[in-house]
Amino acid sequence: MFDLIKKLAELYGPSGFEDQIRPVIRTEIEKLADEISTDAMGNLIALMKGSGKGDRLKVMIAAHMDEIGIMVNHITEEGFLRFTNIGGVRRASLQGGRVQFADGTIGVIYSDKSADASKLQPLDKHYIDVGASSKADCPVHVGDAAGFLRPTLQQGSRVMGKALDDRIGCVVAIEAMRALASKKGKNKSAHDLYFVFSVQEEVGVRGATIAANAIGPDVGIALDVTLTGDMHNGPEMAVALGEGTAIKAKDAGMIAHVGLVNLMKKRAADAKIPYQIEVLTGGSTDARAMQLSGVGAAAGCISIPCRYVHSPSEVVDMVDVQASIDLLVEILSNDLDI
């Protein structure tokens, strides 16, 4: 599984620029789905038709392909690039970092000299050096986007790299599709499953909103990362790396459907899958889009605990990744009696 994580995490794909990652995911899933399509927004949608007869529930499972990044908004006469953020870029992780543009051009981030070195410079006082000697010979243009550049590494059960938010959710979705496709008879899902690899989540769950309005799901399950409470001076929350998947109860954008939360807990307990309960005080996921789109859906989220979210070195634990896959398969291959 690590090879798949590495392949997806290292791909270029800031919000709105997912063209390089979409075909790679499509190749991974095209033999698993009954139908695959890409909508006008750029969402990749894979339908696995249910085995049940009569009315079948529509279940939408969403994992976003996009990552945070930057966009060039000015080029100085000396060839340095000023930029703005795409999504929740953290200034503390910028200095000395590297970014990569769609054509492979790589740049180094630095900031202007400050009178007070103890304070972080604002975003508009940072710049990117791509090796140009002047504006005229700069290979990058205003409006070009870049993603952060960092290798994906494994150390024991821990995996670290950029864009694990939310390429790790994409991995969970792909592995769940593989597991479901291998099941036979009553263990195969009775429901119509719409696996959506969504775009532009980092800038306001835009892709999932469009997809949910088109699909009209009865049940929606987002796959995304969440913060952990086991960091040094980190947030106070009951989620830790290596303790299992996290079942979302609430975040800043939605309260998860109580019946779905209870079902997740029951399926995890019955299958002896380690789990934690997530209450996140900031941020939200594609579950919010599914909950509020159309006539609404019973929505929830399976979260993968992650340290250092929105930095170029996010960290997850393979124990939690596997538990998230196992829980999703248990939910989808059994009755959704919520």
Active site members: 201
Q: Measured between alpha carbons, how far is 206 from 320 in angstroms, rounded to an integer?
A: 27
- Asked whether 177 and 204 are in contact (CB, 8 A), the reply is no
Taking CA atoms, 209 is separated from 60, 144, 200, 218, in Å, by: 12, 25, 10, 14
Whether the link from the prior residue into 337 is cis, omega within 30° of 0, is: no
Residue closest to 9 by CA, chosen among 148, 162, 154: 162
Q: Are 58 and 78 in contact (CB under 8 A)?
A: no
* Run of H or E including 269: helix 258-270
What values do phi and psi take at 130, rounded to 5? Answer: -105, 15
Locate tokens 């807990």: which residue?
265
